[in-house]
Amino acid sequence: MALKNTRGRKAQTSIIIILALAIFFAIVILFAWQKLVIEGPETGGIGGLKKLMRERVEERIYTGAYETLETIGRQGGYLNIPSPSIDFGKGEVPYWQMCQHGFIPSLDNVTQDIGEGLKRYLNTWEAEEFQGKQVLKQEMNASDVEVILSPRHVVIRVWMHITIEGYKLDLPLEIDMDSDFLTLYNFASDFIGDNLEGRHFETFIASIFYHSYEDTDHINNPNFLPNMGVLTECGQTIYKTWDEVKRVISGMVSYSLGHIVLWQDPPPESERTFLKYYMPDVNGNKYPQYQVDFFPIGNLTQDSLQPTQNPVVITNNKVLHSVVPVCRREYDVRYSWYQPLVVKFTDAVNYSFQFGVMPYIYQSAIGSCSVEMKWNHTENPCDIGNCQARIRVTDSDGNPIEGARANFGSCQIGKQTDSQGIVEGGIPCGVAELNVFHKEYIFHYDITGSGEIANKTVTLIEMPLLVTSFYNYPVSYKKEACPYPDPFQGLSSGFEGTNCLQDMYCCNYRLDRKAVKDYVFAEFERENPLPWELEKAYIGNVNSENETVSAVNIGYLPPGYYSTSSDFYEQEKKGITGVMEGEYELKEKPTTREVYVNAPSYTFLPTFDFDHPEYPYYRERLLEVMSDCEIDHVTDDKPPKQCHIYTWCDKKIERRIVWYLQYADFVHLYSCNSGNKRLVLDPLLTECGLGTEGTPEEKVAKLEEQCGKRVIFKTLPKTGTKCDCRI
């Protein structure tokens, strides 16, 4: 019984299995029947149409993918460009870097944007029929597109539900595109990563700021950018308007962007080409297969370019100690600059990837900024020109000056004056500094309103050219017995009670004019200069090689009154052996003239010790000798060749009586109450090859007219209880 029951249960199980299989096959047959009823039998014709339809859809996907990749490459990896961005061409480009901040989109976000862009493209496609057959498609979701990026390919899979005559296309639809998109993205990411660390644009451009023209007349070179330097000529002036600075810096930016050398190591210093910037790799990688272009965007404005001086006006009115033979004015002008750049990489089939960079230089160094910093690209206020200026520039005779430049505040008026001396242009309305500059004239400065320069004449004073000669008068002396016992007999009377014949001796002082072989450092200090004008200037008899010369041309002293002084530095004695002081009026006319700087020196002293108690005495006596000879410190007339001073000394005379007689242009000083008509003039006449006949007056006139000598007679001052020949 037990066996029978087991067999019965097995039979029941078999029946159940058979029934389950029957039901399964029934369901399969039902679904197949429904498919045949709904789609109809897939005949050979429908199969061919589906294949053709699939090819057409894949072509559509390929086109959409290509356009999407092109758009996202053009827009720096974004489907929707974030703010802020740069207007470039017909579209916009996002920033990937601003100063020290990077904004590199992640690869996942870029991939998602490619899928989203393709989805949008395919959803705009309206498929109605294909070869007379009805075509239906469903709206796609973001999850219906899969993008796979690889170094040389882009694979795209699309789940887009499409039916033709009720028959569905097999999914997914897939295309494989040859594309460098991923490599270009990696290049861009590496470039920005490297630039965030190296700040290459700022480094190169800021260095070029300090490499403008350095020729012999570089400050007058239109391409010269004043930054850090030294002016060594007194009165030398640098004048650059903002427009001139803008032109130079714009050229420097263009130059720098065209001289960045990629994928090459810099050559040795001895072989390096001047002013090139080398980037052998970016983040350790090289991409030599791509073309790289840098585009500066927009024009510089007074927001994006700001010198520390505007306009740049530097005048060498700073003087040094008199032992230095040149004037020296150090200057330091810094520039703040920013300008959007578009970086563009292009492959062999002209596909490109581009993004924006904002380099920032603050006061000629790499700058830092905040993410919230406002980058103004407003219109240049100088270009608005709500008011109009018209200026006529003339010299003191009313003649027009061509080539003068005028600024109202930081805004340049026009370019420069024409042949009629006129310049005009739009300016902002208001009150500002009006300055007019021409290198051959004195700088004009004024505070004025825009309404006052609608039609204004400005007169510039021409800077005189001084052909300056230097002369040295070495002072020597000889103590000797008076050759005549009664030298002034009959020439004076009324001084009773003195005896010039007792204990008399003579001191013969001689000054001979010589061309200077040592250093003369002359100081010119102007009375009441304006703040921007030259206050002091040193004129030295040295050339650019620091060699002594007998004459120099000076073209930077404005007309006016000057207090003058000079030191005479003797190279052999290695010290100052003479000083001189005076006053000089420099007149505007004539504009070219000869000027003489006359410097005395002692021959019988080592050097001046300015701390020695007797220094004031020696200094005053030396100035007195030059005054007695009527030789001024600075003269417009050529000074005399020689000057002799004969002094008589009487130890018993307690008072010094000086009587002045004027002979022509020479002053003669006599002392004592008696004398002889025979004077000590014969040795001088003999030295000049002239006869000794004639009266004293005739002898003096002969020495003056034929020999160019000046003779002075005076009493030697007493020092203590004895007469001494020292000055």
Interval 251-294: pLDDT, tens: 999 999 999 999 999 888 777 766 889 999 999 999 999 999 99
Rounded to whole angstroms, how far apart are CA atoms 613 and 492? 38
Q: Which residues lie across from 642 on neighbouring strands?
A: 512, 709
Q: Which residues lie across from 282 on neighbouring strands?
A: 285
Interval 184-239: pLDDT, tens: 999 999 999 999 999 999 999 998 888 765 544 567 788 889 888 888 776 678 88
Q: Which residues lie across from 446 on neighbouring strands?
A: 434
Indicate whether this model's pTM tops 0.75. no
Interval 168-188: pLDDT, tens: 888 899 999 999 999 999 999
pLDDT at residue number 101: 93
Q: Rg of the Cα trace of the chain?
A: 48
pLDDT at residue number 532: 64
Tokens 């037990």 correspond to 2
Rounded to whole angstroms, how far apart are CA atoms 696 and 677? 6
Tokens 């003087």 correspond to 319
User: Which tokens hold the place of 623?
Assistant: 């100035």
Query: Comparing C-alpha atoms, which of 534, 531, 536 is closest to residue 321?
Result: 536
User: Which residue type is seen at 572?
Assistant: E
pLDDT at residue number 609: 73
Rounded to whole angstroms, how far apart are CA atoms 681 and 646? 10
Q: Are 467 and 595 in contact (CB under 8 A)?
A: yes
User: Which residue type is seen at 672?
Assistant: C
Q: Looking at the chain, how many residues does it have? A: 727
Interval 323-373: pLDDT, tens: 444 567 788 899 999 999 999 999 988 899 999 999 999 999 999 988 766
pLDDT-based confidence at residue 111 (cuts at 50, 70, 90):
very high
Query: Comparing C-alpha atoms, which of 259, 252, 267 is closest to residue 292?
Result: 259
